Structure 1
Amino acid sequence: MNDATARMRLESILAELDRSIGVLSGGPAAERERSAADAGSDLTDADRNRAMLDVAVQHRRSVVEALKRLDEGLYGLCVDCGRPVPEGRLEARPEASRCVECQSRRERRR
């Protein structure tokens, strides 16, 4: 994936995440939805909302880091081993920071 395409995709993902985070964190759109819906919401909905917000914030952080790597000329290189991240992986996850091998190793350690 060339840099222009990567930047366009990452910025599009970032804009979508910003919209989602705004809704999940109670921005103006969320207030309108909440007032139109039942006033009562149970704890599990709040817990689910918080979990989705946490995931969206972490994903946003990954996208911002990918844009930074793009600016620094390091996009598409594994942050652990320095080898190129496979094109297919970047197509599927433009924010990917590790090659498949290093990502697998990282997930096994968790």
Structure 2
Amino acid sequence: MDLATARQRLEEMLAELDRSIGVLRGDPAGSREFSAADAGAGLTDADRARAMITAATAQRAAVLEAIARLDEGVYGRCADCGGAVPEGRLEARPEAARCVPCQGRRERRR
């Protein structure tokens, strides 16, 4: 993927993540009043929304880091080994910072 396309995709991802995080942080219930029976469902919904915000915020950080790598001229290089991140991986995950073997090692350490 050429750098201009990568930047465009990353900026689109960033905008979409910002919209999603904004919606999740808003009051999806609006002015609707909840009954006592709705309280338990609301808690579950709130927990789910928090988990989604956490995941979206982490992905947003990865997108911002990828844009920084573009600006620094190192986009497409593995952050760990310095090798090339395969084109297919960048197509699927433009924010990817690592080649598949290095990402696998990182995930196994967690």
Q: Report the TM-score, using the length of structure 1 for normalisation.
A: 0.90
In the comparison of the two structures, how many residue pairs are matched? 104
Structure 2 alignment gaps of length 5 or more? none
* Aligned position for 1:57: 57
* Aligned position for 1:19: 19
1:105 match: secondary structure = helix
* Aligned position for 2:97: 97
Q: Which runs of 4+ in 1 moved over 6 A?
A: none
Q: How far apart, in 1, do the equivalents of 2:65 and 2:52 lie?
A: 20
Q: Report the TM-score, using the length of structure 2 for normalisation.
A: 0.90
* Aligned position for 2:6: 6
Deviations 1:19-46 (A, max 9, x none): 00101111xxxx4x4226x433521110
* Aligned position for 2:29: 34
2:96 match: secondary structure = coil
